Structure 1
Amino acid sequence: MADVAADMSTGTSASLSGRSDGHDSERDDEHVTLAVNSTRYGGWKHVSIGAGIERCARDFTLSVTARWPGQDTAVSVRQGDRCEVRIGEDLVLTGWAYASPVRHDPHRVERGVSGRSLTSDIVDCSAAGEPSQWRNLGVVQIIRALVSAYGIEVVDQTGTADTLSDHTVQPGETVFESVDRLLTMSRLLATDDGRGRLIIVQPGSAGAASDAIVVGENVLWGGGEFDFSGVYSEYQCKGQQAGNDETFGAAASEVSASITDTRIARHRVKLIHESGNLTNDLARRRVAWERDYRITKALETTYAVRGWRQSNGRLWIANQMVHVVDPLIGFERDMLIAEVRYTKGDRGTIAELTIAPPDGFFPEPNDEHKARKVKKGKKGGGDNFEYLLPADWEKNA
């Protein structure tokens, strides 16, 4: 397989498509390139790039197949190389190459590269630095201290002012496990961006998608499990906090909160024992998050649409609000894009969008569920889940 190379100001560009003219049949704005060691590789035949608001490290897998006989593909990438992945001119991932798989048989050889965001280090690695305990600091300040050993930049888009009286790293936990405890307690979300930074976000802060997801128009396929076995009628949270001159005795050793979900008819109780320093306010937030999050996961659905870009030319991205019309499942409502995966292969160029109600990701401590009014679905469609969630989502001011 012939390589096509041209000098660039930043290095070399190599097409792995096997075309002698160096051009790919795909759209220019959906052309995937991998930049590593001053070389930019393109012409990938199989692509998978994923990002989501429930994970802080996006991933990629790129591969190309060459047929024998002929010149082999040349992908000079080693484990640990820093790399950038772009779709057109959009930087979608900055991270590390973790693997360079090779597979071959008598007819062909396939070479690839896979890797993850810079933030993958805080997912994999232990929180073993110093200090290991913080007192009376803001949540974001503690997160910055936890990830600093791995050189990860933190961007706070929420402006949260939550302060914890105590946070201690538990033995053996990874950096992100410690961060995740902070996020769950404070009802915050952390993801990464194309530059490999850790981003603390609010649901829907990426704005609204310009296109809707409409079955019969732009949906190739869709579906979900709609499994409510993990949903309960009552959630209880119990724990304790360190005593002081103002909080002592039972007030410190018996911290608890509970919340009910009247949407669930029969008696089902979920008890959460929270480790660490638990305040009454954090316990209330914890049960509110648990209730809404479990409904959210039960209604999670995935749709596949043709192409990676919307009609305005922008990529489909996670944390956007999108209107979904699916008369087969029964959706006619605004939903949150929780995860997006850009794929290319035998089925073509496809964006797989995992959508869910935003309620379970909402960071505010108030019980907004009771404050929202159920809206009837639009004429001609209707929504089968109005008894669980409002038809449209509006962020409370």
Structure 2
Amino acid sequence: MEDPNDKVTLTVDGMDYGGWKEVSIGAGVERQARDFDLSITWRWPGSSEQIRPVRHGARCEVRIGRDLVVTGWVGASPIRYSKTEATMRITGRSLTADLVDCCPDDKPGQWKGQRIEQVVRSLVSPYGIKVVNEGRDTTVIPNHTVKPGETIFESIDRLLTVSRLFSTDDGQGRLVMARPGSAGRAADRLVLGENILEGDAPLDFSRVFSEYVAKGQRAEQDDDESADAAEVVGSSADDRIGRRRRLVINESGQVTKELAQWRADWERDHRISKALEATYQVQGWRQSNGALWIPNLIVPVVDPIIGFDRDMLIAEVTYSRRRSGGTIATLKVAPPDGFEPEPNDKRKRMKVKKGKTGDNFEYLLPADWEKR
């Protein structure tokens, strides 16, 4: 019998739809909009399980038990049938999907001397989307102008990079301005031999280098030497890589020495973090305290097969149920540094506290994560 805490309900126009045989609900820090795919199969003719058709484009809510996990729009309702049975699916995305697909209004189009949060709220307000400043950022920007043809999300992404934030969504369909780990810490660990059912880590280091060089140009000032003004260079060496591999990044626009150095350091940390992404499956959608597994939590991972014994960031969660596979949460994790936005200002990098670790990748990564 289905656990009431894991019952999936789709609510459309005040009507609840349940009994879904297959479920896939996905959310992640690198997604601006979460999505869902629900299906039910009934045998016919004469079945009492048939459900009323759902209106396309209708506003909807998806819940797991009492937890609201998606607020969005119905996108499609494909139907497939044979002589003996029919399957109906309902798919959709978060309210924030419109920020991914649509462009900003032409007016005002430019903002001066305002906080980033104010500009974000102005960009999304025509779509009725609320903003949560989870990162508690108060940065004021001198100027922001919408670029022709860019989407709302692309414009917001440029804005948030100034404050080292990223944007995602939540179960209420709100835009969330967040930092890696700002959702808190998980109640449970991921431990091989305890709650990990399967693990998968490509461990692909083909895009990791021993030296990162960022180059750019900046306008000459009165006290500059001509050669210094013509080219700005920042470099970050990684002597832990076993052979010489040099990568040069050419930055566009006006580049300061600080920005060039930050870019080189960012490439180094980002690429190593991405190389160490891993995906784990656990039984059930909830932790031992009853809370759902959610993105942007810091979770300790103990996996001697892959070689991890450290804090990781939950980058993505997929809640799935299959008629043959049970109720599974699939968690993509990686070192938190891999989710820092790309640099584009003068700010110096924030440091990660190092400590003892028992994993096999100490030569590649900072040893633990200190919440910033």
Q: TM-score range by the shorter chain?
A: 0.7 to 0.9
What residue in structure 2 maps to residue 358 of structure 1?
336
1:48 is aligned to 2:29: no
Preserved contact between residue 35 and residue 94 of structure 2 (Cα < 8 Å): yes
Preserved contact between residue 314 and residue 332 of structure 2 (Cα < 8 Å): yes
Of the structure 1 ranges 177-186 and 333-342, higher mean CA displacement relative to structure 2 is found in: 177-186
Query: One-letter code of the match for 1:70?
Result: G
1:192 is aligned to 2:173: no
Q: Secondary structure at the match of 1:74?
A: coil
**Structure of greater relative contact order (alpha carbons < 8 Å, 6+ residues apart):** 2
Give the Å deviation of 1:161. Answer: 3.9
CA RMSD after TM alignment = 2.9
What residue in structure 1 maps to residue 357 of structure 2?
376
Query: One-letter code of the match for 1:260?
Result: A
Of the structure 1 ranges 273-282 and 58-67, higher mean CA displacement relative to structure 2 is found in: 273-282
Give the paired residue count: 366
Match of 2:44 among 68, 72, 89: 68
1:174 is aligned to 2:155: no
1:1-397 to structure 2, matched below 5 A, reads 25-71=1-47, 73-239=50-216, 257-275=234-252, 281-345=258-322, 346-362=324-340, 366-368=348-350, 372-377=353-358, 383-396=359-372
Deviations 1:55-113 (A, max 9, x none): 11000010100112323612331221000110000111100111111111122100011
Give the Å deviation of 1:264. Answer: 3.0
Q: Distance in 2 between matches of 1:298 and 1:326?
A: 16
What residue in structure 2 maps to residue 11 of structure 1?
none
Preserved contact between residue 84 and residue 93 of structure 1 (Cα < 8 Å): yes
Q: Distance in 2 between matches of 1:246 and 1:166?
A: 26
Q: Secondary structure at the match of 1:182?
A: helix
Give the Å deviation of 1:284. Answer: 4.4
Preserved contact between residue 187 and residue 285 of structure 1 (Cα < 8 Å): no
Distance 1:385 1:173, change over 3 A: same
Q: Distance in 2 between matches of 1:225 and 1:103?
A: 35
Query: One-letter code of the match for 2:66?
Result: E
Q: Distance in 2 between matches of 1:252 and 1:166?
A: 24
Query: One-letter code of the match for 2:35?
Result: D
Distance 1:239 1:117, change over 3 A: farther
Give the Å deviation of 1:195. Answer: 0.7
Give the Å deviation of 1:393. Answer: 2.0
Q: Distance in 1 between matches of 2:131 and 2:212?
A: 32
Preserved contact between residue 332 and residue 391 of structure 1 (Cα < 8 Å): no
Give the Å deviation of 1:256. Answer: 5.3
Distance 1:285 1:26, change over 3 A: farther
Q: Distance in 2 between matches of 1:257 and 1:149?
A: 41
Preserved contact between residue 22 and residue 40 of structure 2 (Cα < 8 Å): yes
Preserved contact between residue 11 and residue 60 of structure 2 (Cα < 8 Å): yes
Q: Distance in 1 between matches of 2:258 and 2:142?
A: 12
TM-score normalised by L of structure 1: 0.83
Percent identity over the alignment is: 57
Give the Å deviation of 1:233. Answer: 3.0
Query: One-letter code of the match for 2:101?
Result: D
Q: Which runs of 5+ in 1 are unaligned?
A: 1-24, 378-382
What residue in structure 2 maps to residue 380 of structure 1?
none
Distance 1:281 1:77, change over 3 A: farther
Q: Distance in 2 between matches of 1:354 and 1:265?
A: 28
Preserved contact between residue 241 and residue 277 of structure 1 (Cα < 8 Å): yes
Q: Secondary structure at the match of 2:287?
A: coil
Q: Secondary structure at the match of 2:274?
A: helix
Preserved contact between residue 213 and residue 233 of structure 2 (Cα < 8 Å): yes
Distance 1:150 1:302, change over 3 A: same
Q: Which runs of 5+ in 2 are unaligned?
A: none
Deviations 1:17-65 (A, max 9, x none): xxxxxxxx21000000011111011111110011111111000010100
Distance 1:92 1:229, change over 3 A: same
Q: Distance in 1 between matches of 2:175 and 2:206?
A: 32
Query: One-letter code of the match for 1:192?
Result: D
Query: One-letter code of the match for 1:53?
Result: V
Preserved contact between residue 137 and residue 163 of structure 2 (Cα < 8 Å): no
